[in-house]
Amino acid sequence: MSLDQHHRPPFPPFTWDTAIQKVRLAEDAWNTRDPERVSLAYTTDSLWRNRSEFLSGREAIVGFLRRKWEKELNYRLIKELWAFHGARIAVRFAYEWHDDSGNWFRSYGNENWEFDGGGLMRRRIASINDLPIKESERKYHWPLGRRPDAHPTLSDLGL
């Protein structure tokens, strides 16, 4: 499948339906854990703040995501629309993962996104906190990859 490097629908200004669609597409891409694929949703000069790390450009994004998913094993993510206006979307999310010692975590956060006219994200600001959990406290049990449509949302799970 060839992805257009300059356009990624849906495009701003967002409506309720297109904002929901954009959030789900982002969640689906991140759940592939494929840094190159994920990076194509961002402008070539995209600016990120992720926790205390500042990134610029797709190459930096790919490197960051490779390091992330080498550390955060069995990563599963759910995103939920929080708010939107024009070319901006705010989401909340939670993901579960474990480290190489088998310690499980649920990471909670918020992201603010800004898109260019072609639907590529030009800015991503993420604030994230990690909560150690027991394996028995996990809530995400689908096979690695895309979250099934019937799986509960963050709100359904009380997260």
What pLDDT, in 10s, does the model give residues 17-31?
A: 999 999 999 999 999
Across the beta sheet with 73-85, what order do the strands follow?
53-56, 42-50, 121-133, 104-115, 88-98, 73-85
Parallel, antiparallel or unpaired: strands 121-133 and 104-115 = antiparallel
pTM given for the model: 0.95
Pairwise CA distance, residues 2 & 23, whole Å: 21
Q: Taking residues 122-140, what's their average pLDDT?
A: 98
Is the confidence at residue 91, as pLDDT, over 70? yes
Please write down the long-range contacts of 55-61, taking CB distance under 8 Å and 24 or more positions apart.
Answer: 61/35
- The average confidence (pLDDT) of the chain is 96
Q: Taking residues 51-74, what's their average pLDDT?
A: 97
Is the confidence at residue 96, as pLDDT, over 60? yes
Is the confidence at residue 4, as pLDDT, over 70? no
pLDDT value for 6? 81
Is the confidence at residue 5, as pLDDT, over 90? no
Give pLDDT tens digits for 26-60: 999 999 999 999 999 999 999 999 999 999 999 99
Give all domains of the chain, ordered by start, each with its CATH number: 16-142+151-157 (3.10.450.50)
